[in-house]
Amino acid sequence: MVSPKLRWNCPSAGGLIPDNAAMSLGEFDLIETFFWRRPGQGPHRAVVGNGDDCAVIAPAPGMQLAVSTDTLVEGRHFLSTVSPARLGHKALAVNLSDLAACGAAPVAFTLALTLPRVDEAWLRGFARGLLDLADEHDCELIGGDTTAGPLAIGITVMGEVPAGQALLRSGAQVGDDLWVSGHPGEARLALEAFRGSLHPGLSTEAFEATRLAMERPDPRVALGVGLRSLATAAIDVSDGLLGDLGHVLRRSRVGASLNLDELPVSPWLVARSPDERLDCILAGGDDYELLFTASPAQRERIAQLGAELGLVLSRIGRIEAEPGLRLWRGGQTVPNRWTSFDHFKGAA
């Protein structure tokens, strides 16, 4: 039987592969060439790493494993114009962002790669973007799966957090402050520029800067770890600030007031119309900033953490007992006309 994955010059596929494929890199050669590290190269966190039927990892004593999966599909999560290095970076970054939202420190990840063809230059760039970010966060690639088909990248990431200290969506308390990191909205501005829907369009400088935010997000791992003992709840902003805030409010069974005047405005959004600015910040998506809640007693320590990390942390609202979300601007409530991105309902 010809397995659908045996279309390359796979050494163990004995006779299934046509001779003219012999020049191309086989499946196992490909995996070894691009995704396995030599001893001393890259982090080593696993007891048994890449190359056996399973990887084996042992969490440190007193730690719990936090596990999360995210898949990127061409046309859905990234545009075909993205460079392979940035795509490799982003595929891991969106997964590390989930660990950050739980306050977990990265340990290891697996990579399920579906490729339409073996393009060595593409693989080299992709592996560099992916493994550079992995090394930066001491996160070992311990295994995966490689198959042929439309381009898709699935990553499962594992992190560790002291037992009982994982930050959850369900922990927000009435009276807590509501905070957000960085400048949400930049990725959406770039996406709209790609779609040609901005009038006026962006300057080259603004386009390149916001495109970087969209294609190469920085997961807030150190912030998540620093917030373990400070925050009551956290989530990473992937589907839009208001939509993701909604998840925290529902899971915590609370409501909130959000002050639109306190939202951090990226320098690239300052020049846009007020409506466009709010659309991007509140419902943009693909931000990978952390939205979190904390007692007002922690304000000073949170400000200090932001300063240590060189990260803008903005206090944008307050958790309240009354269910639902109330938006304020200039001391008045304003209607909520924003919804978040839903893959099955279409764009916001």
Q: Within 10 Å of residue 26's Cβ, how many Cβ atoms? A: 20
**Residue 43 CA: distances (Å) to CA of 108, 129, 135:** 9, 15, 6
| Beta bridge partners of residue 56, listed in sequence order | 48
Please, what is the angle between helix 274-283 and helix 186-195, to 10°? 110
- In the list 88, 143, 240, 284, the residue contacting ligand ADP (rule: CB under 6 A) is 143
Site string for ligand ADP, 84-113 (x = CB under 6 A): ---------------------------x-x
> Which of ligand ADP, Mg ion, none does residue 261 bind (CB under 5 to 8 Å by kind)?
none
**Residue 145 CA: distances (Å) to CA of 5, 14, 34, 110, 339:** 10, 20, 13, 8, 36
In 170-312 the beta strands, taken as DSSP E runs, fall at: 177-181, 231-237, 255-259, 289-294
**Residue 155 CA: distances (Å) to CA of 38, 162, 248, 303:** 21, 23, 24, 33
- In the list 145, 262, 308, 322, the residue contacting ligand ADP (rule: CB under 6 A) is 145
Nearest Cα residue to 60 out of 166, 165, 159, 138: 159
Q: Within 10 Å of residue 15's Cβ, how many Cβ atoms? A: 5
Is residue 227 within the footprint of ligand ADP (CB under 6 A)?
no
What's the CA gap between 322 and 283, in Å, rounded?
23
- In the list 141, 153, 241, 283, the residue contacting ligand ADP (rule: CB under 6 A) is 141
Nearer to Mg ion, 53 or 205 (CB): 53
Considering only CA atoms, give the Rg of the chain: 22
Site string for ligand ADP, 6-45 (x = CB under 6 A): -------------------------x---x----------
Q: Are 157 and 68 in contact (CB under 8 A)?
A: yes
> Which of ligand ADP, Mg ion, none does residue 152 bind (CB under 5 to 8 Å by kind)?
none
Shortest distance, position 79 Cβ to ligand ADP, whole Å: 22
Site string for ligand ADP, 45-84 (x = CB under 6 A): -----xxxx-------------------------------
Shortest distance, position 5 Cβ to Mg ion, whole Å: 13
> Which of Mg ion, ligand ADP, none does residue 146 bind (CB under 5 to 8 Å by kind)?
ligand ADP
Is residue 300 within the footprint of Mg ion (CB under 5 A)?
no
Nearer to ligand ADP, 73 or 309 (CB): 73
- In the list 95, 97, 146, 156, the residue contacting ligand ADP (rule: CB under 6 A) is 146
Is residue 53 within the footprint of Mg ion (CB under 5 A)?
yes
- Whether the ω angle into residue 116 lies within 30 degrees of 0, i.e. cis, is no
Shortest distance, position 27 Cβ to ligand ADP, whole Å: 7
Q: Which two tokens stand for residue 165?
A: 């200290």
Nearer to ligand ADP, 34 or 179 (CB): 34
Nearer to Mg ion, 12 or 204 (CB): 12
Q: Within 10 Å of residue 112's Cβ, how many Cβ atoms? A: 16
Residues in contact with Mg ion by the rule CB under 5 A:
53
Residues in contact with ligand ADP by the rule CB under 6 A:
31, 35, 50-53, 111, 113, 141, 143-146
